Amino acid sequence: MHRSGATMAWNVFKFCTALRGLGSIMILLVLGIVGVTYYSVVLTNYGPALFDGGFHSLSAALILLLFHCFLVMLLWSYFSVVLTDPGGVPPNWRPATDEERGEVDPLNGSELDSSQPNTLNQRIRYCRKCNQLKPPRCHHCSVCGRCVLKMDHHCVWVVNCVGAQNYKYFLLFLFYTFLETTLVTLALLPHFLAFFGDGEVPGSPGTLATTFLSFVLNLAFALSVMGFLIMHISLVAANTTTIEAYEKKTTPKWRYDLGRKKNFEQVFGTDKRYRFIPSYSEEDLRRIPALQGLEYPSKPDFDSQEF
């Protein structure tokens, strides 16, 4: 029995190591899908339609304008997730203390009553893999090999963890991907239906195949991303991560739930000019404690379980 458990642990470790190796392959795959879609929409179908004149030119111009706007925001958000550190635990991090309330550093102090089951020092979480204390809402990622602040999940598509510092960018990536793929699906729908019509479809076999492939891919992504987007919107509204949604016990009140407005502001910031771009204002970077994930709520309730 012990032997099979060791084998399972080894297999999981090997799987996590393999995920690290995906790296540029997944980025190239995303860029490849974008390239096929761009070729189909811009170069094959709606680019040439700009010269048809009349209503066809106007509709083509509108579709191309929206397509390029969504594409720029999609790629900006995507590479923001890929290149932004999700948030790591600062070296020698220790929980904040309050001397007036009798709280001291849990590493060195002795004022906290260890006989009480609900004292703070028994709720401090410790990562045995990183050999360090874990801030609230922090979890260890086996793929990245480190603890991540307010970790949501490790995403193979962005080759990165989604955590405190890049969660907004990930949500915007989902949002603009949904808009882009929905637009492409609707734009290519008439061309897709033409495959099954009685009339002759213009274009070479290669361009027709590319159009067909682009429609199927974008339809599939639009439907799947819509599901993920709805799920994450509900998580943001409750100030919950994907990991916490599976781990937390059924309680009448989630301790981090500040109300929908403040929950939303913790992720997207208070400055409305930055709501739909993958960036934060300097003021928001200073005002959003959840962005760093290093503060306890007013009534700490953290167990000593290792994640």
| pLDDT per position as a tens digit, 83-129 | 999 988 888 778 765 434 444 444 433 333 334 434 444 467 888 98
More confident residue, 38 or 90: 38
In a domain, 109, yes or no: no
Average pLDDT over residues 217-239: 95
Burial class (CB within 10 angstroms; exposed 0-12, middle 13-18, buried 19+) of 107? exposed
Query: What is the Cα–Cα distance from 176 to 242, expressed in whole angstroms?
Result: 20
Average pLDDT over residues 123-151: 88
The whole-number pLDDT of residue 31 equals 94
In a domain, 99, yes or no: no
Q: How many CA atoms lie within 13 A of 192 on its CB side?
A: 16
In a domain, 138, yes or no: no
User: 211-241 burial, b for 16+ CB within 10 Å, e for fewer?
Assistant: beebbebbbebbeebeeeeeebeebbeebbb
Could you give the angle at the alpha carbon of 158 between the alpha carbons of 278 and 236, nearest 5°? 55
In a domain, 64, yes or no: yes
In a domain, 46, yes or no: yes
pLDDT in tens, 10-24: 444 444 555 556 667
For strands 132-134 and 139-141, give the pairing: unpaired
Q: Is the pLDDT of residue 53 over 70?
A: yes
pLDDT in tens, 145-204: 899 999 999 998 999 999 999 999 999 999 999 999 999 999 999 888 877 765 566 667
Could you give the angle at the alpha carbon of 41 between the alpha carbons of 38 and 43, nearest 5°? 75
% of the chain with per-residue pLDDT over 70: 73
Average pLDDT over residues 257-264: 91
Distance of CA 96 to the CA centre of its chain: 28
In a domain, 30, yes or no: yes
Q: Is the pLDDT of residue 38 over 90?
A: yes
Cβ 125 vs Cβ 303: under 8 Å? yes
Known catalytic residues? Answer: 155
The whole-number pLDDT of residue 71 equals 98
The whole-number pLDDT of residue 183 equals 97
Neighbours of 208 (CB within 10 A): 17
**Cβ contacts of 89 within 8 Å, gap of 6 or more:** 130, 132, 133, 134, 135, 138, 147, 149
DSSP 3-state assignment of 133?
strand
What's the structural domain count of the chain?
1
In a domain, 279, yes or no: yes
Cβ 182 vs Cβ 222: under 8 Å? yes
Query: What is the Cα–Cα distance from 58 to 96, expressed in whole angstroms?
Result: 60
Domain that holds residue 241: 2-92+147-291
Here the tokens at position 207 are 């361009």
Look up the pTM and report it.
Answer: 0.81
In a domain, 116, yes or no: no
Phi-psi region of 161 (alpha: psi -120 to 50; beta: other; left: phi over 0): beta
DSSP E strands in the chain: the ranges are 125-127, 132-134, 139-141, 146-148, 153-155, 160-162
